[in-house]
Chains A and B, each alone.
Chain A
Amino acid sequence: DQQVKQNSPSLSVQEGRISILNCDYTNSMFDYFLWYKKYPAEGPTFLISISSIKDKNEDGRFTVFLNKSAKHLSLHIVPSQPGDSAVYFCAASAQGGSEKLVFGKGTKLTVNP
């Protein structure tokens, strides 16, 4: 049973435009959410996180939005750059982030010049 779902395996956008990656979760105990970015042949690297006490967190070009009632979060990248091309994983944890991280299957983002 997939507790964290990323329903779009891939996304392609033009450089300079907005990239929106989506993630849904089913476990209502999750209260801490993270996005990771992964390049080929490397381990995932932490990108941005959000606690359930917030509905938005911003870090430079990256913004994560959380809709608790819909059990949905999204990552916005504005403006998108070719270097953003990677696989993006959504992850969730309970107990304020102190429990295990459960990952989605990832979305491959391609930003075209």
Chain B
Amino acid sequence: DARVTQTPRHKVTEMGQEVTMRCQPILGHNTVFWYRQTMMQGLELLAYFRNRAPLDDSGMPKDRFSAEMPDATLATLKIQPSEPRDSAVYFCASGSGLGTGGTAVWAFFGQGTRLTVV
């Protein structure tokens, strides 16, 4: 049963500390998304990659957030330094979006990392 795996599931950290969230996309999926869920904003897109190349990270606070795909089986989202306003659930999703006329395979979500910054 293919699934997107995110670690850790929960993270409590102190303000100012570095946080790293990891995601293992579904094998064969060429697109990886990072979303953040908050009560006020719903699901916000932070960044996404296609074939490991970053396509859009305009939703990400550049001064403290960074997203990478060191290889096809791992995506990371780092926050340094973390702040209380970063507390949210962070979701990774993977998919294989096809072009016009094709059947898009969208997007399978992991269970999320619940981050609490105190």
- Which residues in A have some Cβ–Cβ distance to B below 8 Å? 31-32, 34, 36, 41-46, 49, 89, 91, 93, 95-106
Contacts and interface: CB of A to CB of B under 8 A. Distances in A.
Nearest to B110: A43
Interface stretch (B12-20, B35-43, B63-71, B78-86): B35-43
Nearest to B35: A103
B4 to A, nearest CB: 7
Given A46-B107, A46-B108, A100 B55 contact: yes
Contacts of A49: 104, 106
B112 interface: yes
For B99, B102, B104, the residue with the greatest tally of chain A CB atoms inside 10 Å of its CB is B104
B109 A43 contact: yes
B9 to A, nearest CB: 9
B106 A101 contact: yes
B28 interface: no
Given A45-B109, A103-B42, A96 B104 contact: yes
**Is the contact region of chain B dominated by helix, strand, or loop, or is it mixed?**
strand
Contacts of A106: 42-43
Interface string B80-113: 0000000000010100011111101011111110
Contact of B97 (A36, A45, A97): A97
A65 to B, nearest CB: 19
B7 to A, nearest CB: 14
A6 to B, nearest CB: 8
